[in-house]
Amino acid sequence: MEALFTGAVTLLLVFLYLGLGAWVFSGLMLVSVTGLYFLVDFPLDRIGAIVQPIVWRSASTWELAAIPMFVWMGEIIFRTDISERLFRGLSPLVDAVPGRLLHTNVAGCTLFAAVSGSSTATTATVGKITATALTERRYDTDLAIGSLAGAGSLGLLIPPSIVMIIYGVLAEVSIAKLFAAGVLPGLVIAGLYSGYIGVRCLFRPEHAPAGGETYSWSDRARGAFDLLPVLVLVVLVLGGIYSGLATPSEAAAVGVAATVVMSLGMGQLTWPIFVESLMGAVKISCMVCSILVSAAFLSTAMGYLHVPAELADWIATLDLTRYELIFILGLFYIVLGLFLDGISITVMSLPITLPLILQAGFDPIWFGVFLVVMVELAQITPPIGFNLFVLQGLTGHPVGRVAVAAFPFFVLMCVGIAVITVYPQIALWLPEVMLGSG
C-alpha cells in the first residue's frame, strides 16, 4: 500500500505542477526532485549527482537523432506542394468508391504518416488541402472533419513514428521492429475508417455527392504519377530500415536529403521555406528531447521510490487476467489522454506500466503498438486533443463540434485496439518475418 500512496502522491504532483502552467519539462523535473527530497529524504547534492549523468545519457542517445530528421522532413513537405500532389493523385483513384473523396482523408493521412512521424503534422498537412476541397464540393462536414481527425492520428502509428522512437529508447527495444509492428495495425485501423465511410455513404449518398469531374484511366495514371514523390520517400526511408542497410537515424537523414533534392527539383524549396522548415524542426526537436531528459529523471526517481516494482507486485495479487489488465490500462491511458499530450503520456507512464506488462507476459513490441494507439486516442479527445485544435483552426468550427464529429472514429480506433489485443500477431508477424525473432 505504501507504493500506492507514493504513486498517488506522484501523480497528484504531476497534475499540480502541470495544472499551474509549468512546462512539461520543468513539471516532471520538479516532481522528481520533490519526490526524492520529501519522500526518500535525499539531500539536494545527491539529487544533483543523480541528475547529471541521466541528463547526458538520455540526451546523447544515438537513436534520438532520428527525431529531428523526421520532423524536418515533415516540415519541408508541409511547406511545399508535395502534399497537394497527394490529393491530386488520390482523387481519381477513389472517385468510384462509395464515399468518394472522403477516402482521400484516410489514404492521404496514411501515406503522409509514412514520411512524417507526427500526428499533428499529418492532420495539418492533409487537412489544409482536403478540408477546403471537400467543403467546396458539398461533402458532409461532420464526416469530413471526423475522418480527418481520426486518420490524422495515424501519423503516430504508421512508421516512422516519433512516439515509437521514444518508446523504443525508454523500453530498450528495437526501433526497427517497432516500426514494422506498426504497419499492419495502422492499415487495419485505416481500413476500419474507410469501411465506415463507405457503409455510411451507401446509406446516405448525399454525404458524398458526385462532382462534375469524370476521370479516365489516363487521369488515374497521371494521379499515380503525382503520388511518386511520397512513395519514393516511403521506399527510401522504410526500405532502408527493413533491409538492414540503414538504422532509423541514417534512414531519416537519407529521407531529409531526398526531400530537399525533390523540392529543389520541383522548384518548391526557396531559402525562406528552407529556414522556416529548419527552425520548425529545431523547436519541435528541442521540446521532445527536453521532455525525454525530464522523463528519464522521473523514471529513475520512481525507481528510488520503489513505485513500479511494488505496484507491479500489488497488481499481481489482484489475480487479474491478461485482458483485464489491458482493459484497466486502456482506461488509465484514456483518462491521461484527457489532460496530457502523447509524448508526456508515454514518458510519464512507462516506468509504471511496462513492468506490469512484462510481468503479465506481454511482448514489449506489441505493447509499444498498444501504447501508440492509446496515445492516438488522446489526439482526438477533448479538452487537450491536439488534432481537434488543428482542425478547429483549419475549418473554423468550434472544438465541441470537431470532437463530436471525431467520436465515431474514436470508437473505431477502440475496436481496432481490441482486435489487435485479441490477435497480437497482427502487430508481431511483420517484425518476425522481416527482422527475425531475435
The mean per-residue pLDDT over the stretch 71-80 comes to 82
Tell me the three cell numbers of residue 68: 529531428
Among candidate residues 207, 190, 184, the one with its CA nearest the CA of residue 409: 190
Give buried/exposed letters for 305-318 (b at 16+ CB in 10 A, else e): bebbebbbeebeee
Confidence of residue 183 (pLDDT cuts 50, 70, 90): very high
Query: Measured in Å, how far apart are the chain's first and last C-alpha atoms?
Result: 38
Q: Where are the beta strands (DSSP E) in 302-430?
A: none
C-alpha cell at 375: 496515445
Q: What is the pLDDT of residues 380-396, one digit of tens each?
A: 887 667 788 778 887 88
| Residue type, position 231, single letter | L
Q: Is the dihedral of CA 81, 222, 91, 115 positive or negative?
A: negative
pLDDT band at 229 (very low <50, low <70, confident <90, very high): confident
For residues 348 and 80, what is the distance between their CA atoms, to the nearest angstrom?
A: 35
**Which sequence spans correspond to the domains of the chain?**
2-435
Cis omega (within 30 of 0) on the bond before 160?
Answer: yes
- Answer for the pair 247, 177: CB distance below 8 angstroms, yes or no: no
Q: Lowest mean pLDDT: which of 1-5, 19-23, 177-181, 318-322?
A: 1-5
For residues 339 and 384, is the Cβ–Cβ distance under 8 A? yes
Is the per-residue pLDDT at 117 higher than 90?
no
395 to 79, 124, 158, 227, 246: CA distances (angstroms): 19, 11, 25, 25, 40
Neighbour count for residue 47 (Cβ, 10 Å): 18
Share of the chain above pLDDT 70, in %: 90
DSSP letters, 182-226, are HHHHHHHHHHHHHHHHHHHHHH-GGGS---S----HHHHHHHHHH
Range picked from 32-36, 200-204, 295-299, 379-383 for highest mean pLDDT: 200-204
Where b means 16+ CB within 10 Å and e means fewer, 3-15 reads beebbebbbebbe
Which range has the worst mean pLDDT, 76-85, 228-237, 275-284, 353-362?
76-85
Q: What mean pLDDT do residues 119-128 have?
A: 78
Query: Is the Cβ–Cβ distance between 165 and 64 less than 8 Å?
Result: yes
For 286-338, how does the pLDDT look when each residue is reduced to its tens digit (9 = 90+)? 877 777 777 778 767 877 877 666 666 676 677 788 889 899 888 888 877 77
Residue with cell 538492414: 244
Q: State pTM to two decimals.
A: 0.78
User: d(Cα 241, Cα 359) in Å, to the nearest integer?
Assistant: 30
d(CA 45, CA 402): 49
Q: How far is 237 from 183, CA to CA, in rounded Å? A: 14
Q: How confident is the model at residue 372 (pLDDT cuts 50, 70, 90)?
A: very high
DSSP string, 77-109: HHHSTHHHHHHHHHHHHHTTSTTTTHHHHHHHH
**115 vs 119: CA distance, rounded Å:** 11
Q: Residue with C-alpha cell 499551474?
A: 20
Of 84-93, 188-197, 238-247, 381-390, give the range with the top mean pLDDT. Answer: 188-197
pLDDT for 428 equals 94
pLDDT at 7: 65
Q: How many CB atoms lie within 10 A of CB 419?
A: 14
Q: 98 and 128 in contact (C-beta within 8 Å)? A: no
Tell me phi and psi for residue 202, to 5 degrees.
Answer: -65, -40
Per residue in 145-154, pLDDT (tens digit) is 999 999 988 8
Task: Give 419's pLDDT tier (boundaries 50, 70, 90).
Answer: very high
Phi, psi dihedral angles at 340 (to 5 degrees) = -125, 160
The pLDDT value recorded for residue 17 is 76
How many other C-beta atoms can be found within 10 angstroms of the C-beta atom of residue 136?
9
Give the up-direction half-sphere exposure of residue 299: CA atoms within 13 A in the CB hemisphere.
24
Q: What is the DSSP letter of 65?
A: G
Q: 415 — alpha (psi -120 to 50), left (phi > 0) or beta?
A: alpha
DSSP helix/strand/coil, 263: helix
Residue from 348, 398, 403 nearest 380 by CA = 403
Averaged pLDDT, 248-276: 89
What's the mean pLDDT when you consider all of the chain?
82
CA atoms of 106 and 194, how far apart (whole Å): 7
Does the structure show a pLDDT above 90 at 30? no
Q: Is residue 185 a contact partner of residue 427, using CB atoms and an 8 Å limit?
A: yes
- The identity of residue 159, as a single letter, is P
